[in-house]
Amino acid sequence: MRLTILLAGGGAGLALAAALGGWLALAPAAGADPSDPAQVARGQAVYADFCASCHGADLEGQPDWKTRNAAGRLPAPPHDVTGHTWHHPDAMLFDITKNGIAAIAPPGYESDMPGFGEALSDDDIWAALAFIKSRWPAETLRRQQAVGG
């Protein structure tokens, strides 16, 4: 009986380890480092070319970003401290940028945020996130780090 319990517990532990290992294998390998000047400079260029037209050159977002527009969609939020970007872990921000809001939203949710996986490399996406994070004050960075930043 004791051997059966040990084997069952060991099997469950192995299954959990395999599941976590699979998730980690799918997680993006790089990261956004707002203290890396080269990554931030690259990200500033990427942001200017791909993000600023909706999210604003100064990360300010679109006006009334919390109010749905005539099409029923929310305008682009700011990426500065007045928005909610810093409320999300880096892996989620990466996924949204690469695959669009549809990657994380409930079925049927409509958004104007496209995925940029075809236009940007993973390193470009991480660089854009590093640039955004480089504009946040230290306290905001600490808060975002606490949620998985």
Q: Where are the domains of the chain?
A: 1-30, 31-146
Statement: residue 64 has pLDDT above 80: yes
Helix (H) or strand (E) holding 72: none
- DSSP state, 120? S
Q: Of 1-10, 26-35, 68-77, which gets the smallest average pLDDT? A: 1-10
- Record the pTM: 0.80
Report the length, in residues, of the chain: 149
Measured in degrees and rounded to the nearest 5, phi and psi for residue 60 equal -80, -10
The chain-wide mean pLDDT, for the chain, equals 86
Statement: residue 120 has pLDDT above 80: yes
- DSSP state, 18? H
What pLDDT is stored for residue 32 in this prediction? 97
Q: Per CATH, which fold does 31-146 belong to?
A: Cytochrome Bc1 Complex; Chain D, domain 2 (1.10.760)
Tell me the CA distances in angstroms from 19 to 12, 95, 148, one per residue in order.
11, 19, 19
> What is the rounded distance in angstroms from the CA atom of residue 32 to the CA atom of residue 67?
30
What pLDDT is stored for residue 25 in this prediction? 44
Question: What angle separates helix 122-134 from helix 37-50, to the nearest 10 degrees?
Answer: 100
